[in-house]
Structure 1
Amino acid sequence: MKGFGEYFFYVFFILIVINAKHFYAQSSNKSIKQGNLLVGATLNYEELNTIKEELFLKDFKYLTPANAAKQSAIHPEPGKWNWKKINEFIDFANKNNLIVRMHSPVSPQASKWAKADNRTAEELTKNMEAYMLAISKRFNVEKCIKYMDVVNETILANGDWFGPKEGVDQWENPWLKMGFDENGYPLYILKAFALATRYAPNIKLVYNQNAGMEDTLWDKVKETIFYLRSKGYRVDGIGWQGHIQLGAKKQDFIDNMDITIQKMANLIDWAHANDLAFHVTELDYLVKDKFKKELKTERENQKKLYDKIVDLLIEKSKQGEVSLNLWDLGVRHKKGTGDFQSIYNKKFQPTASYFSIQRALKASNP
């Protein structure tokens, strides 16, 4: 009997261990699947039906069409409308069961018609309102579209409103010419969110912003979001572009990485405390022309930073909604500037940063 009792005890003990491991595995998987992290990438219209589309579909279910939904593409001037490219993106998303963030903000990437120095506030207002009304109604009926950027790059790193410049070939924001309300807030921001709130109730509205983690800039973004909400307009999330070594400076994100990541953590905490999602909307890493010979070192820096960002987003996804979107998948060259790196090299082979994003994907939902 003693031998049988010992045998029974050991069998019982083993069953408990197996069940405990099974329960732990289920609990771990459940916590990952129920997370609030969404990971995706951007495709340009010209990249549909190419190797980049194949690479995208291999790993991602979250899509941002690059520039096909902006004013410059859809409604560049009075009497002109072009829905072809964005409609094809919507068809692509529906065919492949993708979640979409429409990068369709009232922003500096405006048409030359809008940038013309003689353009009046009345003309800009009429064009912007027609554009925002049309895209809000059009996108609101598409179940694949979950998010929409309403404005982008509104504030400079020093806290000033980004505005117009002379000519039509510079990076500028002509919409500021529409004027300000009685409290000094740009009318284009107020009108854009008013229209999106009314006509896109099914879509989460995002206030997107470039540059780095400058306190002055983000304090003004926060103040503006509170003001928009005080007017009854909906803001569901904030976006940070994440163009590393372009708007986001090397001094902050490489030389003082831990300090800057902590600032990002604080910003995410603020967003979640105020019922806002946090979106990394356009992540890439610029290797400037003068540093091309140091590509190996630059990619090591990129991998280290991407690991930090991924770790942070995974952790913060436990308390609220976060997303990570790559701006392109391969190497994007800009003449006179350098090569923007993502997760594949020029031969479409994975770089080290690919494996950082794979960790994020394993913790993502879906």
Structure 2
Amino acid sequence: MIIKKTFTYAILTGVSLGFIQKSEPTLKDAFKQDFYVGAALNGRQISGQDPKATALIKQQFNTISPENLLKWGPVHPQPDTYNFKPADDYVKFGQDNKMFIVGHTLMWHQQTPKWVFEDAAGNPVSREVLLKRLEDHINTVVGRYKGKIGGWDVVNEAIDDQQGDLRKTKWLEILGEDFAAKAFEYAHKADPKAELYYNDYSLYRPEKRAGTIKLVKSLQAKGIKVAAIGMQGHYGLTKPSLEDIEASIVAFSKLGVKVNFTELDIDVLPNPSRRQGADIAETFGADEKYNVYTTGLPDSVQQKLTKRYADLFALFRKHRNVIDRITLWGVTDNDSWLNDWPIRGRTSYPLLFDRSYQPKPAMQAVLQTAKNKM
């Protein structure tokens, strides 16, 4: 099916506003009865260096996530140093535009400085020292935005890719198996009203699904409330299957938690990895056969992308009673991390808006799913 573009464009406050369609609502309006629709924001957008993207964000989305600026490394690079300016600007942007603001992320094995796990001599710290550092970090960061940030990805990617066991990380090695419980406890203490999430990729895989269920049940057994499981939607044009994604939605909802799709994008390029996910440690050297659309996306692939987004949003709407939020991992194709992963410098096309801030055919197809009766 070929979907024709019927969009019109306008100039607003001196900035080309990426998308206006007289007969179509915006994303946030189209799905306002179903779930939030949002995007991950980068530093340029937060600092006002990308005004076209800023206009698009304000127009289309009602929730935002920070791509990098609230991860441990950027916000707390040294033991006694916090870099709050970008995070403050991010939160203010969300408040000014009456958006649901997400914090990402408090505990992760990536982008956490080495000093967190080591003493002055470079040796591993004790459990007690690491717990104190974790508590101080969470109390400082979450406490600063208490009542402003509505939900936090407390623990990120703690389940192993292959077997569904706890991932072998410094957090597990030093703290033991209650590392996640401690992070959730500290976050709840710092802001008792904030929603607390577990977030991971490839959760459509049965092994990771089972591992995540085991982890969340262990937290619940300790009286810890997990508000939602974040399923990172780093998907391809055909994999994973809608059936596998749906199986995880249903399984997680049976835990009494909501399901968020937290990092949605569709990789249209050939992938040298045998995995489908987001393990940022797995990178490859440049190879032209994995960067095949340098001058634009062929119409045949554009149609596949359109269908994939339409099918996914139809699935999301089917389960809107348990889904609170859909967040795209970026605003336009130019912002996407997939331009540099798993190979740097690729020309990727994973989002709903192109490099000129204009909507793709997939955008109209997504909006159409909001009209379909269920």
1:279 match: secondary structure? strand
The residue aligned with 2:316 is: 313
Q: Are 1:163 and 2:157 an aligned pair?
A: no
Question: Larger % of helix: which?
Answer: 1
Amino acid at match of 2:238: I
Q: In the TM superposition, what are the counterparts of 1:252-267 in structure 2 within 5 Å?
A: 254=238, 260-267=241-248
2:264 match: secondary structure? strand
Tell me the distance in 1 between the aligned counterparts of 2:224 and 2:350: 37
Distance change (3 Å), C-alpha of 1:198 and 1:111: same
Q: 1:178 aligns with which of 152, 165, 174?
A: 174
Q: Deviations over 1:231-265 (max 9, x none)?
A: 111101000111224xxxxxxx615x5xx212222
Amino acid at match of 1:278: V
Contact 1:206 1:238 in 2 (8 A): yes
Q: 1:150 aligns with which of 151, 154, 161?
A: 154
Tell me how far 1:214 sits from its aligned partner: 0.9
Q: In the TM superposition, what are the counterparts of 1:96-175 in structure 2 within 5 Å?
A: 96-107=97-108, 108-114=110-116, 118-122=123-127, 123-142=129-148, 145-158=149-162, 159-164=164-169, 174-175=170-171
Q: Report the count of equivalent residues.
A: 305
Distance change (3 Å), C-alpha of 1:293 and 1:163: same
Stretches of structure 2 that go unaligned for 5 or more consecutive residues are 1-29, 271-287
Q: In the TM superposition, what are the counterparts of 1:1-366 in structure 2 within 5 Å?
A: 35-48=33-46, 49=48, 50=50, 51-107=52-108, 108-114=110-116, 118-122=123-127, 123-142=129-148, 145-158=149-162, 159-164=164-169, 174-180=170-176, 185=177, 187-245=178-236, 254=238, 260-286=241-267, 287-288=269-270, 290-293=289-292, 295-296=297-298, 297-317=300-320, 319-331=321-333, 332=336, 333-334=339-340, 336-337=343-344, 338=346, 339=348, 341-359=350-368
Look at both structures and tell me which one has the larger radius of gyration over its CA atoms: 1
Amino acid at match of 2:106: P
Tell me how far 1:103 sits from its aligned partner: 1.3
Tell me the distance in 2 between the aligned counterparts of 1:334 and 1:292: 11
Give the TM-score, by structure 1 length: 0.76
Amino acid at match of 1:345: D
Amino acid at match of 1:270: A
Distance change (3 Å), C-alpha of 1:135 and 1:36: farther
Tell me the distance in 1 between the aligned counterparts of 2:289 and 2:123: 38
The residue aligned with 2:27 is: none
Amino acid at match of 1:196: A
Tell me how far 1:199 sits from its aligned partner: 2.4
Tell me the distance in 1 between the aligned counterparts of 2:74 and 2:145: 15
Distance change (3 Å), C-alpha of 1:112 and 1:334: farther
Give the TM-score, by structure 2 length: 0.74
Distance change (3 Å), C-alpha of 1:357 and 1:60: farther
Tell me the distance in 1 between the aligned counterparts of 2:209 and 2:263: 17
Q: Identity of counterpart residues, as a percentage?
A: 23
Distance change (3 Å), C-alpha of 1:148 and 1:280: same
Q: Which moved more, 1:325-334 or 1:297-306?
A: 297-306
Distance change (3 Å), C-alpha of 1:121 and 1:345: farther
Q: Deviations over 1:48-92 (max 9, x none)?
A: 321211111121111112111111122233111121111111111
